[in-house]
Amino acid sequence: MPDPVLFEIKDKVALLTFNRPDKLNALNYAVIDRLMELLDRAEDDDGICAVIVTGAGDRAFSAGADIPEFTASMRKGTEIAVKDFVRRGQAMTARMEAFGKPIIAAVNGIAFGGGCEITEAVHLAVASDKAVFAKPEINIGIPPTFGGTQRLPRLAGRKRALEFLLTGDRFSPQRACEIGLVNRIVAHDALLPATFELASRIMRHSPGTAASIIAAATHGLNMSIEQGLQVESEQFARVAASANTREALDAWIDKRTPNYAGR
């Protein structure tokens, strides 16, 4: 059996590749479970400073949850389907959203359903000019289940999101960029180099400070502004006394490039 998610480390970046190209990288339980294991590994490895996720083959980032597999779970009963399918997928996107190192999607093709929800959940996304997006769950009679009813309205605004959620229509990378789902679009052949370059521009900075910014922005978004400001000051307090922050400030004063530990 081929590994459902490929793992490679390059330039201190973990490249995770959904590896079911014959099934358009549909997210079966094995892919999700393996991805969760690899995220743990990437988090624990001090030699990894960022993560990029992409899809194998020339057609898809991911065509979403594995329909025959979760249909089988649904046939066993709603409780089983909620546990095996919904909670598993929600845990995956929540893990990515809250991941302590920058995580970037390189959207190389079809990003439907769960593939779109992963794009919503990660910190940044770069799309190939061949990418295509959709929220097609309504076509098969279910609402999105990996956070898609929650994150897209927060990212794009409620009415823009509801149009995609309620029509199931496909949309272009240009539209995905306009609504804030992806950061930029690049020529297909430049996708991975451009995504690695974006990661490297984050990795010039202190890893602890990057983690504090991710945590403040991600947690604060789902709180009142007062609570969010509290999170912001906690994140400041977390890094303020660190060696890397001291180094950043000293380097600025000395007019030199900072030399960070763990970078």
Displacement of CA 198 from its chain's centroid (Å) = 14
> How far apart are CB 170 and ligand COA at their closest, in Å?
8
If one asks whether residue 67 binds ligand COA (CB under 6 A), the answer comes out as yes
If one asks whether residue 208 binds ligand COA (CB under 6 A), the answer comes out as no
If one asks whether residue 61 binds ligand COA (CB under 6 A), the answer comes out as no
- Residue 203's identity, in one-letter code, is M
Q: Is 97 a catalytic residue?
A: no
> How far apart are CB 56 and ligand COA at their closest, in Å?
13
If one asks whether residue 161 binds ligand COA (CB under 6 A), the answer comes out as no
Query: Pattern 113-132, binding to ligand COA, x per CB under 6 A?
Result: x-------------------
Other beta carbons within 10 angstroms of residue 248's beta carbon come to 18
Query: Which is the catalytic residue, given 37, 69, 79, 117?
Result: 117
Secondary structure letter of residue 58 according to DSSP = S
- Give, as ranges, the residues between 17 and 46 that touch ligand COA (CB under 6 A): 23-24, 26
Number of alpha helices (DSSP H) and beta strands (DSSP E) in the chain? 12, 10
> How far apart are CB 32 and ligand COA at their closest, in Å?
13
Token pair of 97, please? Answer: 């959203």
C-beta closer to ligand COA: residue 23 or 154: 23
Query: Which is the catalytic residue, given 97, 120, 137, 232?
Result: 137
The answer to whether 104 and 125 are in contact (CB under 8 A) is yes
Q: Which of 42, 17, 20 is nearest to 29 (CA)?
A: 20
Displacement of CA 216 from its chain's centroid (Å) = 16
If one asks whether residue 147 binds ligand COA (CB under 6 A), the answer comes out as no
Distance between CA 100 and CA 80 in Å, rounded? 31
If one asks whether residue 89 binds ligand COA (CB under 6 A), the answer comes out as no
Sheet of strand 110-112, all strands in order from the earlier edge strand to the far edge? 60-62, 110-112, 132-134, 170-171
Q: Which residues are catalytic?
A: 117, 137
- Residue numbers of the site for ligand COA (CB under 6 A)? 23-24, 26, 63-68, 110, 112-113, 136-137, 140
